[in-house]
């Protein structure tokens, strides 16, 4: 029987990063993955393939809607080769997962393929078909991630009534895609197919889309996506979903309790994700699971069994790949005797629609609820020379700072490339910068980043220069 210092169950962004860091710290490390490819949901049926389709569909939309404005004329009709687009997506995924294989080999991490299950707190049985083997682990990190959630009355057939997994590998462009849920995944995939010619209707239970983000971001993104042709039905409670042949019928009630019916050829159920612990047999190790199906951990991400830890989507907190990676690094360093930390308030959230949406820290609603006195500075992207040059004028940057100390409490962005731009805000907040600190930094011209400086100026005695 092989013995390891650390065994990681799950090879997503949390698991594989934890494995690499453990190996870097001199620990004999194993990683267990039930599928025959590494990378978990993010690399295979989540972050990476969705961004590949978002980028491809964005290029198409630019060609048919905006090339002419730039003086680019293409003779003949511009057509979508959807099969090739999906094949390119698959190629990107394959390249990325092979990169993880390379990193496992480089760091001398033993990879086991099969379902990992606890026999007890220090032994894990790995089952692949008829083959079974057991390894011993002094420490174990559970990184099994999440899977798409659904509503109890919806029967997913994975053909017409689908989750994000199936939406990434459709054989055709829908005629009418009805998306249940106005969160990140539903909006991103909805925009992909809207760009490619589908009618897209988003049915959301709450009174706004991306409800966990700042309300101003919700309003701005919905305005932009409406211009792109996406239809929104807010404050609608879905009560039934049925399929007859190639037609899916969605029944909902609006805020006036009036019944509304939607008919489409595909229905994307995008109501969030839930922790995945199936087959782990946590009871054999005595691991505590919460009522919501999450693995219960302390501030060091340690379960009630001292040598077993859990990270990522399977525990509390936002279900984000980069959160899982940070947690994987943290646990590896804790096991090694170091004293790392994570400030969960400074883990950014991003929506990869166009315009992009990015946020870090507290929203205005959160500050109001906590009775925190704050200042707000906002600057529109359309006032930037760079935005006018590229034609990406939707959006804004908003900075919230403490009214007394001027410390930045939250930064919220909508616009071109804000998924990358949010890192500036994270760095500033990590070092407890004030709005004036950011305002006094030189920002290259012309750039989208100038909106950050201008928003900081606006939060500092309303000193924005270009509005």
Comparing 116-125, 185-194, 216-225, 454-463, the range with the smallest average pLDDT is 454-463
Residues of the chain with pLDDT > 70, as a percent, come to 100
- If you average pLDDT over every residue of the chain, what do you get? 97
Q: Is the pLDDT of residue 345 over 90?
A: yes
Q: What is the pLDDT of residue 309?
A: 98
Phi, psi of 38 (to 5 degrees): -90, 165
SS3 at position 253: strand
Radius of gyration (C-alpha) of the chain in whole angstroms:
24
CA pair distance 338, 342, nearest whole angstrom: 13
Confidence tier at 461 by pLDDT (50, 70, 90): confident
Alpha helices (H) in 28-120, listed in sequence order: 40-45, 47-65, 82-106
User: Both tokens of residue 235?
Assistant: 């404050």
Q: What is the pLDDT of residue 31?
A: 98
CA pair distance 258, 370, nearest whole angstrom: 36
Phi, psi of 390 (to 5 degrees): -90, -15
CA pair distance 222, 227, nearest whole angstrom: 9
CA pair distance 421, 434, nearest whole angstrom: 18
Averaged pLDDT for residues 108-129: 98
The residue from 59, 66, 70, 445 that is catalytic is 445
pTM (predicted TM-score): 0.96
Residue pair 395/381 in contact (Cβ under 8 Å)? The answer is yes
User: Domain segments of the chain: what residues?
Assistant: 3-148+274-342, 161-271, 346-459
Averaged pLDDT for residues 176-198: 98
CATH superfamily assigned to domain 3-148+274-342:
FAD/NAD(P)-binding domain (3.50.50.60)
Averaged pLDDT for residues 240-266: 97
Q: Is the pLDDT of residue 194 over 90?
A: yes
Known catalytic residue at 445: yes
Confidence tier at 1 by pLDDT (50, 70, 90): confident
**293-322 pLDDT tens trace:** 999 999 999 999 999 999 999 999 999 999
Averaged pLDDT for residues 88-115: 98
Cβ atoms < 10 Å from Cβ of 8: 34
Q: Is the pLDDT of residue 85 over 90?
A: yes
Contact residues for 161 (Cβ-Cβ < 8 A; gap 6+): 154, 155, 241, 243, 248, 266, 267, 269
CATH superfamily assigned to domain 161-271:
FAD/NAD(P)-binding domain (3.50.50.60)
Q: What is the pLDDT of residue 174?
A: 98
Cβ atoms < 10 Å from Cβ of 316: 14
Q: What is the architecture of the domain spanning 346-459?
A: 2-Layer Sandwich (3.30)
- Same CATH topology for 3-148+274-342 and 161-271: the answer is yes
């Amino acid at each position: 029987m092989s013995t390891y210092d650390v065994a990681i169950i799950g090879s997503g962004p949390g698991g594989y990063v934890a494995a690499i860091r453990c190996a870097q710290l001199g620990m004999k490390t194993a990683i267990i993955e039930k599928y025959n490819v590494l990378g978990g949901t993010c690399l295979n049926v989540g972050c990476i393939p969705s961004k590949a389709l978002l980028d491809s569909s964005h290029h198409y939309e630019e060609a048919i809607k905006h090339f002419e404005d730039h003086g680019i004329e293409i003779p003949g009709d511009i057509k979508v080769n959807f099969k090739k687009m999906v094949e390119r997506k698959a190629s990107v995924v394959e390249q990325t997962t092979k990169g993880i294989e390379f990193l496992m080999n480089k760091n001398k991490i033993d990879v086991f393929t099969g379902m990992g299950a606890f026999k007890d707190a220090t032994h894990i049985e790995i089952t692949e078909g008829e083959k079974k083997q057991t390894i011993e682990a002094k420490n174990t990190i559970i990184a099994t991630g999440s899977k798409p959630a659904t509503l109890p009355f919806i029967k997913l057939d994975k053909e017409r009534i689908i989750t994000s997994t199936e939406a990434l590998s459709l054989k055709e462009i829908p005629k009418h895609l009805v998306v249940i849920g106005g969160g990140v995944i539903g909006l991103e995939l909805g925009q992909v197919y809207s760009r490619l010619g589908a009618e897209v209707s988003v049915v959301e239970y709450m009174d706004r889309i991306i409800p966990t983000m700042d309300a101003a971001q919700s309003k701005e993104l919905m305005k932009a996506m409406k211009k792109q042709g996406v239809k929104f039905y807010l404050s609608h409670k879905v009560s039934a979903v049925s399929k007859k042949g190639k037609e899916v019928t969605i029944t909902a009630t609006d805020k006036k309790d009036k019944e509304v019916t939607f008919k489409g050829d595909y229905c994307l159920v995008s109501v969030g994700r839930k922790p995945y612990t199936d087959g782990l047999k946590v009871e054999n190790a005595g691991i505590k699971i919460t009522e919501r199906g999450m693995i219960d951990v302390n501030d060091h991400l340690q379960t009630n069994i001292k040598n077993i830890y859990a990270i990522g989507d399977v525990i509390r907190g936002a279900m984000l790949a980069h959160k899982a990676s940070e947690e994987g690094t943290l646990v590896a360093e804790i096991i090694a005797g170091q004293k790392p930390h994570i400030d969960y308030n400074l883990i950014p959230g991003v929506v990869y629609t166009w315009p992009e949406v990015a946020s870090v820290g507290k929203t205005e609603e959160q500050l109001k609820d906590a009775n925190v006195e704050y200042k707000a500075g906002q600057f529109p992207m359309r006032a930037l020379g760079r935005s006018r040059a590229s034609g990406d004028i939707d959006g804004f940057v908003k900075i919230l700072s403490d009214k007394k100390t001027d410390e930045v409490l939250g930064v919220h962005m909508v616009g071109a490339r804000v998924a990358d731009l949010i890192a500036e805000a994270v760095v500033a907040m990590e070092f407890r910068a004030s709005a004036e600190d950011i305002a006094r930094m030189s920002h290259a011209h012309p750039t989208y980043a100038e909106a950050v400086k201008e928003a900081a100026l606006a939060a500092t005695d309303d000193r924005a220069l270009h509005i």
